[in-house]
Chains A and B, each alone.
Chain A
Amino acid sequence: MIARRALIPFMLALGFALAMPAIAARADDAQDARKIVQTISDRALNILARPSRTDRNSEFRKLFTEYFNTVAIGRFVLGRYREGVDPSQFDRFMGVFEELVAKTYTVQLGDFAGEKFKVLSARSDNNRWVVDSQIEPPGRSTIRLDWILARTKSGLKVVDVRVDNLSMAITQRDEFSSILQANNGKVDKLIDFMQQKIRKLDTSV
């Protein structure tokens, strides 16, 4: 009887000890997630300060592939048309996709350069980490930026960014879906349009 009563606190202690690393790991993950977002923002600011546009483009592309899981995003934006795409076509798509995203980020982040950017908290949601941050542009209301990170083999990677609840991944998926729908689902046609856009962005101011 004494043994059984003593067992309970022991079991509690054991359970607690087993849970501790998991809890600590979650706290670490939250810290990591926040650090990653802060690093991305710092590096983005540095990149925007570079004078050469080709420089900025290639640096943004590196930033994208390093901190974002581009393959998951690429699969996602193809949506239901993903199934009709063979591996070599998908690789070709990914190459063009990464270049396009790097170029569009160059344009969009340029607007936010120099604004007050604050990383707030990180919380877990299903299997993902959501890092809340905000930008305070002068004379305008605060913009909320949510960064969605997922655990991969190579650590936490960003899989989506939401600007005031507007998801970049979903917006891009809807846009690609519209183009694919108008072109009989031919991903090659989509790749053509993407390359046209890349050339246009290259030649614009």
Chain B
Amino acid sequence: MTLRLCRGQVVGAFGVVAFAVLATGCAEVPKDPAARAAYNEANDPLEPMNRAIFDFNMTADKAVIKPVAKAYRWTLPEFFRTSIRNFLNNAKSPVIFINDSLQGSPSRAGETLMRFIVNTTAGMGGIFDVAGEYGMERHSEDFGQTLAVWGVGEGAYLMLPVLGPSNVRDTIGRVADGFMDPFGYLLANNGLDYARIGATVTDGIDQRSRNIESLDDIEKNSLDFYATLRSLYRQNRKSEILNGKVENIPVPEIKEND
């Protein structure tokens, strides 16, 4: 996938976006110390812009994405959807392997490689998760997590159009993963760019189809869905980065009279 804009156009576009964001998208830093502390903790200086994008995402989701995901789930039998999921997961293995290695986790890299070989061969190109049935569980890695392991802070919270919650570091990670993916180049070199887009869209629809009820429940129960998702995204990323081993999570304190 090559970007065909000339340098001047890119810089110009960047300038316009930057100006627009600074002019309208930034929140005002509060003066009150308690509020300021909360503001810093939320780490969402672009909150007005993010909320606007969030509203757009919710509208697009209700109008298009969720109905398509529901139709996908309703029309395709589970076996078929599981095969699609397995295939797409397997195709991500090279990127996961690279990130495992970049994070200095040779055993995890080995697991990823093993799963890829087993599932691609015995699993008929990845359709069957044979490795999983033998207890070799899949794990996911991406360049955003790699950057975090290398010590890069998350940066400001970002709500991406369609793609959803992210932050500066993880967005850079997404782009990097796109460049790292050997399958991307394989498809592009064979003139199959549309296949890559098709795979990405199918991946999105399939994932959406798997979280319909849980997201619905979270929305139903939250007073501020945007803030809830922001919190969940952060906590989930922390867990992913630490490979599930999160420690020292703050906990309610018991006082003397409790």
* Cβ A170 vs Cβ B254 within 8 A: no
Q: Say which one of B13-21, B55-63, B189-197, B230-238 lies at the interface with A.
A: B230-238
A106 to B112, CA, bound (A): 40
Indicate whether A119 reaches chain B with its CB closer than 8 angstroms: no
A179 proximity list for chain B (CB < 8 A): 223-224, 227
Name which residue of chain B comes closest to A152, CB basis: B258
A79 proximity list for chain B (CB < 8 A): 38
* Cβ A171 vs Cβ B228 within 8 A: yes
Indicate whether A115 reaches chain B with its CB closer than 8 angstroms: no
Q: Say which one of B27-35, B101-109, B168-176 lies at the interface with A.
A: B27-35
Could you say which of A73, A80, A140, A160 contacts B37, with CB atoms under 8 Å apart? A80
Could you tell me the dominant secondary structure of chain A's interface residues? helix
Residues of chain B having any CB pair with chain A under 8 Å: 30, 32, 34-35, 37-39, 41-42, 78, 210, 213-214, 217, 220-224, 226-228, 230-232, 235-236, 238-239, 244, 246, 249-255, 257-258
Indicate whether A5 reaches chain B with its CB closer than 8 angstroms: no
| 8 further contact pairs, Cβ within 8 A, besides A152-B254, A160-B252, A179-B224 | A75-B253, A76-B252, A83-B34, A108-B217, A165-B238, A166-B235, A166-B236, A201-B220
B78 proximity list for chain A (CB < 8 A): 139
Name which residue of chain B comes closest to A179, CB basis: B224
Complex A-B: 10 CB contacts under 8 Å? A108-B217, A128-B251, A164-B236, A165-B236, A165-B249, A166-B232, A177-B38, A179-B224, A181-B38, A185-B32
B249 proximity list for chain A (CB < 8 A): 162, 165, 167, 170
B37 proximity list for chain A (CB < 8 A): 80
| Residues of chain A at interface, number, CB under 8 A | 48
A178 to B231, CA, bound (A): 10
* Cβ B220 vs Cβ A204 within 8 A: yes
Indicate whether A14 reaches chain B with its CB closer than 8 angstroms: no
* Cβ A159 vs Cβ B251 within 8 A: yes
A71 to B39, CA, bound (A): 25
Name which residue of chain A comes closest to B247, CB basis: A125
Name which residue of chain B comes closest to A127, CB basis: B254
B238 proximity list for chain A (CB < 8 A): 165
* Cβ B252 vs Cβ A73 within 8 A: yes
A108 to B214, CA, bound (A): 8
* Cβ A170 vs Cβ B250 within 8 A: yes
Q: Mark A189-205, 1 if CB is under 8 A from B, else 0.
A: 00001100100010010
A57 proximity list for chain B (CB < 8 A): none
* Cβ B223 vs Cβ A175 within 8 A: yes
* Cβ B235 vs Cβ A167 within 8 A: yes
A197 proximity list for chain B (CB < 8 A): 221, 223
Could you say which of B221, B230, B255, B258 contacts A174, with CB atoms under 8 Å apart? B230
A80 to B41, CA, bound (A): 11
A201 proximity list for chain B (CB < 8 A): 220-221
Indicate whether A148 reaches chain B with its CB closer than 8 angstroms: yes
